Amino acid sequence: NMLQTVIGIGHSQYNGAVPISTTFTGGSYRMIDATRGTGGAFGAMAITNANHTTSPGAVFSNTTNEWGDGFQYIEGGSTTNANGQTAAVNALWGLMNTYDMLKSTLGWLSLDGLNTATYIAAHVNTAYDNAYYSDTCKCMFIGDGSFFTNLGSIDVIGHEMGHGITAATSNLTYTGESGGLNESASDISGEMVESYARAGGTGATIPNTGNDWGMGKEIDRTGTPLRSMYKPSKDGRSPDAWSVTLKNLDVHYSSGPNNRMFYFLSQGSNAGKGSDFSSAYLVKKPLAMTGIGSDKAYRIWFKANTTKFTASTNYADARAKMIAAAQELYGVGGKEDKAVQRAYAAINVGG
Ligand code: ASN
Ligand code: ZN
């Protein structure tokens, strides 16, 4: 094919200078990454400029292979980051890490496991404080933010891509308990991409500060995460444990208990952030448990969500299927099997 893959330099907003995979064609550089995904709307993974509309727009192009200046896009007037490339760098870098984390840790290719290419449309709407996945285009839209800074942090991109994977597999219905599990699947995805990138991921040297277990810390001007997986109630809205009324909450709050389950499964309940049990939403103090680490926890979660959950899976069904996944991967009665049972018991699901 005529596409020539080249590695450019992107000046990202949150991770400094990063290597980005672009294409040189027809005398210009384009944000098409032909090494990650095939088919889809642009033939390969890509970043487009929605240019303050809700349509994806055209693929970003440039006369050189150095992109962006690392600064927040300011609507109107400012000459800083005037061409808007920094948002595109954030998006491409985040998407490259997401793709690579899924491939190298799970052998999963792109959204559907079949390597169908996805893309991100940057600059959706004007000063838009959100990001979302659309199954219609099998793509993601990232806002520039106003209250927030640019929504293209690595964990947010990993979160939105997580919606694409869930849509292609269990397709958990986006309301009630299944909706909370859908959101939690995306938060788990976001945090796994973030820790992958910090550990060296897709080739940039960024501080390896491990996993912060907080969604959206970078995009908040005060550095406060939108959601805290180790203690969801820190947001003042999410419960730390399951109850019969959990299903009535917005899915971004009913995700909380499953996020905490995942934190316990990975990191344990008796050390670090997970040992803070002071919470109005806590049903009971969890049994002390040792974590099995993120690699195993994520493998179990991913197998359950992509091969066992259905659209109507609720917390009780998720527990049963997580146990089955742990048993298939690591054996019946093994420490992983027991850890899944303890992690769900810790959020008041099963005993
Ligand atoms: N950023 C949100 C999410 O992915 C957008 C939404 O709620 N649709 O959950
Ligand atoms: Zn979401």
Measured from the alpha carbon of residue 128, the closest ligand is 1
CA of 131 to the centre of ligand 1 (A): 6
Domain stop point among 134, 168, 202: 168
CA of 208 to the centre of ligand 1 (A): 27
Residue nearest to atom 5 of ligand 1 (CA): 132
Give pLDDT, residue 159. Answer: 98
Domain stop point among 168, 195, 222: 168
Domain stop point among 168, 195, 224: 168
Supply the CATH number for residue 311's domain: 1.10.390.10
Asked whether 160 lines ligand 1 (CB < 6 A), one says: yes
Residue nearest to atom 6 of ligand 1 (CA): 132
Q: Is the same domain home to 162 and 264? A: no
Is 252 a residue of the active site? yes
- Contact, 212 vs 194, CB < 8 A? yes
- In this structure, is residue 97 part of a structural domain? yes
- In this structure, is residue 176 part of a structural domain? no
CA of 182 to the centre of ligand 2 (A): 8
Q: Is the same domain home to 28 and 159? A: yes
Per-residue pLDDT tens for 141-192?
999 999 999 999 999 999 999 999 999 999 999 999 999 999 999 999 999 9
Residue nearest to atom 4 of ligand 1 (CA): 132
Q: Is the same domain home to 256 and 162? A: no
Q: State the pairing for strand pair 17-25/28-30.
A: antiparallel
Q: Is the same domain home to 17 and 80? A: yes
Confidence category of residue 255, pLDDT binned at 50, 70, 90: very high
- Domain that includes residue 43, residue range: 4-168
CA of 259 to the centre of ligand 1 (A): 16
Unique residue bearing structure tokens 């850890």: 339
Is 52 a residue of the active site? no
Measured from the alpha carbon of residue 186, the closest ligand is 2
Catalytic pick among 123, 160, 163, 218: 160
Amino acid at 226: L
Q: Is the same domain home to 71 and 151? A: yes
CA of 252 to the centre of ligand 1 (A): 8
Distance, CA of 152 to CA of 122 (rounded, Å): 8
Buried b (16+ CB within 10 A) or exposed e, 24-62: eeeeebbbbbbebbeebebebbbbbbbebeeebbebbbb
Give pLDDT, residue 201. Answer: 87
- Contact, 232 vs 277, CB < 8 A? no
Q: Is the same domain home to 66 and 151? A: yes
- In this structure, is residue 198 part of a structural domain? no
Asked whether 175 lines ligand 1 (CB < 6 A), one says: no
Task: Give Cβ neighbours of residue 222 (< 8 Å, ≥ 6 apart).
Answer: none
Q: Is the same domain home to 9 and 150? A: yes
- In this structure, is residue 175 part of a structural domain? no
Distance, CA of 25 to CA of 237 (rounded, Å): 50
Q: Is the same domain home to 90 and 157? A: yes
Say whether pLDDT at 78 is over 90. no
Asked whether 131 lines ligand 1 (CB < 6 A), one says: yes
| Other beta carbons less than 10 A from residue 79's beta carbon | 6
Q: How many Å separate Cα 149 from the centre of its chain? A: 17
Confidence category of residue 51, pLDDT binned at 50, 70, 90: very high
Asked whether 130 lines ligand 1 (CB < 6 A), one says: yes
Q: What is the DSSP string of 171-239?
A: ---SSHHHHHHHHHHHHHHHHHHHHHHHTTTTS----------EETTTTSTT---SEESS-GGGGSSS-
- In this structure, is residue 277 part of a structural domain? yes
Q: Is the same domain home to 17 and 163? A: yes
Q: Is the same domain home to 153 and 288? A: no
Nearest atom of ligand 1 to the alpha carbon of 183: 9
Supply the CATH number for residue 77's domain: 3.10.170.10
Mean pLDDT of 61-67: 97
Confidence category of residue 81, pLDDT binned at 50, 70, 90: confident
Nearest atom of ligand 1 to the alpha carbon of 163: 4
- In this structure, is residue 179 part of a structural domain? no
Say whether pLDDT at 1 is over 60. no
Per-residue pLDDT tens for 287-313?
789 999 999 999 999 999 999 999 999
CA of 167 to the centre of ligand 1 (A): 13
Closest CA to 283 of 229, 245, 255, 312: 245
Distance, CA of 64 to CA of 83 (rounded, Å): 14
Tokens describing residue 227: 């959601």
Asked whether 174 lines ligand 1 (CB < 6 A), one says: no
Distance, CA of 78 to CA of 215 (rounded, Å): 29
Q: How far does the chain reach from its first CA to its final CA, in angstroms? A: 57
Give pLDDT, residue 288. Answer: 84
Give pLDDT, residue 3. Answer: 72
Q: Is the same domain home to 162 and 71? A: yes
Confidence category of residue 10, pLDDT binned at 50, 70, 90: very high
Q: Total structural domains in the chain?
A: 2
Q: What is the 8-class DSSP label of residue 104?
A: I
How far apart, in Å, are the Cα atoms of 115 and each of 39, 55, 88, 274? 8, 24, 22, 36
Asked whether 155 lines ligand 1 (CB < 6 A), one says: no
- In this structure, is residue 188 part of a structural domain? no
Nearest atom of ligand 1 to the alpha carbon of 252: 9
- In this structure, is residue 203 part of a structural domain? no
Give pLDDT, residue 154. Answer: 97
Asked whether 132 lines ligand 1 (CB < 6 A), one says: yes
Q: Which one of 160, 166, 188, 249 would you pick to mutate in the ligand 1 pocket, going by the greatest count of ligand atoms within 8 A of its CB?
A: 160
Say whether pLDDT at 80 is over 80. no
Q: Is the same domain home to 164 and 219? A: no
- Record the pTM: 0.96
Residue 112: how many CA atoms within 13 Å on its side-chain side? 13
